[in-house]
Amino acid sequence: MDVISVIRTKRDRGELTPDQIDWVIDAYTRGEVAHEQMSSLAMAVFLNGMNRTEIARWTAAMIASGERMDFSSLARPTADKHSTGGVGDKITLPLAPLVAACGAAVPQLSGRGLGHTGGTLDKLEAIPGWRAQLSNAEMMDVLRDVGSVICAAGDGLAPADKKLYALRDVTGTVESIPLIASSIMSKKIAEGTGSLVLDVKVGSGAFMKNLDDARELAATMVELGTDHGVRTRALLTDMSTPLGLTAGNALEVRESVEVLAGGGPADVVDLTLALAREMLDAAGLTDADPAKALADGTAMDHWRRMIQAQGGDPDAPLPVAREQHTVTAPASGVLTSLDAYAVGLAAWRLGAGRARKEDPVQAGAGVELHAKPGDAIQQGQPLLTLHTDTPEKFDYALTSLEAAYDIAPAGTAVTRTPIVLDRIA
């Protein structure tokens, strides 16, 4: 087996054999295949695609590059959720303890933000003392005691994907459905969960900009999960407008706690409950009522226990940015649109996100929304508040918001897009 033959096969639109896939993933992980050679193969896949058999084998090879976790000793059925990323997407924070409160074990391995999309671990690290890095033994202890854990994936989980993703990120080959699907699913299958619900975002603030591409990605991932024995389903959800009223780490934690306390923005509550019902159904807990667990405080109790189990103080004040700047409405009327990507970009520029994985983030930075599409507004009314510790960033952030919203005359009808656009199972 040699890498040049593998590259030529896919370059010439051929189908990679199982042996070719197994060999090239293993050889790249071990360093036998050079980065520039794997970059060439990734570009060939980007341009020519892979069929279902190839994607399944590619995913299996990446899983085989590392360890697989085993939750069979837990008394509860396991359920996990993965989001493809968006702006203001804090759903994991209330969702994990909510599903645990309803009887499932939730081993939620999460990541950090990069670019305009936020990261769950960055958000939770705004809580004083909270730890993202847990050993496998610590993770199991929290699952047994609390029922849910949110932490970083260990280095032993699908190391081939970690290495390949870093390469794709700098070679223009991220936007490939076969490579996206196998990247996500190799980690989730290796994680060992019994069931998985995918939240595939669609819209300007998401990776998938249109519904057809999102359906293809969701269907591919559902097939991969099914082929590997994981009960998998997907919801396609709207990301044309930011989720909730905040985008930024501590800001989103505060909003998540509001949801767990029985309040919070309607779209965040609705999506949290929709995903919770899917997770519980996939785990076989069809009699559980997540809405009741939110209303009676059970989910909040699990949140507090989960944060404490990972070293955090759920009662500690959250960081607040030192400086704020308010954007006001230039005219009266109806807010007809608020672009998710523009808001996410502004939050990133204010310090809530990072350009490189090693960059620090500001816990208090971000954007607070005072209106959503469909709301009536008055001239001079606050539309957005920008938060940062470094006020010299305001001008740069404001440039991304110049065309971020539209205001129509009063009385203009605005059709609100449903939060859940489609379901694939």
The set of catalytic residues is 82, 161, 168, 183, 187
Look up residue 349 and give its two tokens: 């520029």
Phi/psi of residue 388, each to 5°? -165, 160
Q: Are 233 and 222 in contact (CB under 8 A)?
A: yes
Q: Which helix (H) or strand (E) holds 120?
A: helix 120-124
Q: In what order do the strands lie in the sheet with 382-388?
A: 246-247, 366-369, 382-388, 323-328
The amino acid that residue 10 corresponds to is K
Look up residue 311 and give its two tokens: 């070293």
Rounded Cα–Cα distance for residues 151 and 120 (Å): 9
Look up residue 10 and give its two tokens: 């896919």
Q: DSSP assignment of 74-138, as one string?
A: SSSPBEEEEE---SS--THHHHHHHHHHTT-BEEEEE---BTTB--HHHHHTTSTT------HHH
Q: Are 385 and 326 in contact (CB under 8 A)?
A: yes
Phi/psi of residue 146, each to 5°? -105, -40
The amino acid that residue 251 corresponds to is L
Residue 326 backbone zone (phi > 0: left; psi -120 to 50: alpha; other: beta): beta
Rounded Cα–Cα distance for residues 272 and 274 (Å): 6
Q: Are 200 and 237 in contact (CB under 8 A)?
A: yes
Phi/psi of residue 86, each to 5°? -165, -165
Please name every residue paired with 148 in a beta bridge, in sequence order, or none if there are none: 106
Q: Are 176 and 46 in contact (CB under 8 A)?
A: yes
Residue 15, CA distances (Å) to 6, 44, 225 in order: 10, 12, 22
Q: What is the DSSP code (8-state) at residue 155? A: T
Please name every residue paired with 237 in a beta bridge, in sequence order, or none if there are none: 201, 420
